[in-house]
Structure 1
């Protein structure tokens, strides 16, 4: 299945808002979803790393998916993150997730185990065969401890029918260009790095799955649309307007930065679950200053 038209542009890796008692704040999640759609993002990604999935239990994950798809109500596509580093347990867990109203599953490469390229290939091959929705690979070596090489990505794209795309967050532009050069025509390739989305679209990527679009949805999604339409002057202007803000998002930890922004914008409480903690006071002050000057 081709996702290139369905998921072109800006996807948002949704945060999971928490109340002060650390319970999931579904009211704030619904408010955030409405704000993102109103401001022009093309699709939403539930249960990504930005959603603090390592600290969510299975019941919360199911409830978050249901809340998200019900609130979206078919206005934009929804992608769900499902991953793990125990392949057999991951295969058993797929049926627990309500995926009927979603368009694809985003699955990160196994973390911590540091599998070989053949191990990564076999893991994804098994997952794609069991998954009822098209699979988008997620390569994020800074979190997983291992890289999916361009050769492995292209092999998966050509040999596994249900693998439909990749979110590439290696930061290696040469690797990205090799994927773009050798991918099947309908294989979706999106940036997993907000800072590099513009230059990677210039290389041929189809968009981005973004952290920054949680808090800068209008400007960021317009930047991506401008880049895709080759309106590069407009895209660069927005990139540099947001650049310092994007720096602050990742100054300490994701999603500490984006939750700080959303708190200052009145969207959510500034609450994270341990081992993550809110942005330190020095960076919190810089977030306030950026908002006053730029938003």
Structure 2
């Protein structure tokens, strides 16, 4: 899927003070990201706090992003879970007309075997009207989808087109790039390894920090894809502190603190998550400040 090469961003779901969905802020963030040069947007992922949104709120987020985007960049929607049949049912009932692909996380909590993961995704791929991007994030799911399983899925289903790999293990990333069939995309799911993944042959990133610093992050990835290693690393090192800061107290508390510093939305998150602490917010504000000057200039 050529349209999903480069920088995708896993959008937050901004909340008002009463923790209702802030549609106006979401509009602003979509425009900010697109104007900043990102290639595509991902809604209702982990960063979007999809697990604490109701069905009607999820639809509201999808509709709001679709309207704000107005067809400018491709959209991806997160539809995943640990109940295979519930995921299939959701795929059947959602209107996916405006979305290029579905990002689906490997089943969490149940801790299935590799065969269970394979069967889960084959069932979803067979039911989905849109291409599937696998999402491997062992830190959240409690199990690692091995490269051998990914290769098997990539070969056995034409509807499974990519993986968002967030194991934080470059050896695993390299194994995927080496072994997956031609045309299958390996997308970084870790900001800190995004550039390394691209330079190893990956197709880009689905980033968290990238929505806060869309200009710099998308330029870093483009430089990496173009083989301009020196320029790419210049961006990487400029943003490295931010990549670490935003995850210190969990995601999306950190990235929401960036948006608060940018005055685009509030830092509010829903329980069981809590807002970033004041000391972390101060560090994040200090980190963001020079980028704001560059943007303003």
Q: TM-score, normalised by structure 2?
A: 0.97
Distance 1:96 1:274 in 2: 27
Q: Corresponding residue for 2:130? A: 133
* Matches for 1:97-108 after TM superposition, within 5 Å: 97-108=94-105
Q: Corresponding residue for 1:152? A: 149
Distance 1:26 1:292 in 2: 26
* Matches for 1:193-272 after TM superposition, within 5 Å: 193-272=190-269
1:221-275 CA distance string (max 9 Å, x none)? 0000000000111100000000111111111100000000100100001110001
TM-superposed deviation, 1:294: 4.4
Distance 1:288 1:58 in 2: 34
Distance 1:96 1:283 in 2: 41
TM-superposed deviation, 1:278: 0.7
TM-superposed deviation, 1:96: 2.6
1:282 paired with 2:288, answer: no
User: SS state of the match for residue 184, structure 1?
Assistant: coil
TM-superposed deviation, 1:171: 1.0
TM-superposed deviation, 1:291: 2.1
Structure 2 unaligned spans of 5+: 293-297
Distance 1:271 1:94 in 2: 29
Distance 1:169 1:228 in 2: 19
Structure 1 unaligned spans of 5+: none
**Count of residues in correspondence between the two structures:** 292
1:116 paired with 2:113, answer: yes
Q: Corresponding residue for 1:78? A: 75
Aligned counterpart in structure 2 of residue 21 of structure 1, from 15, 18, 22: 18
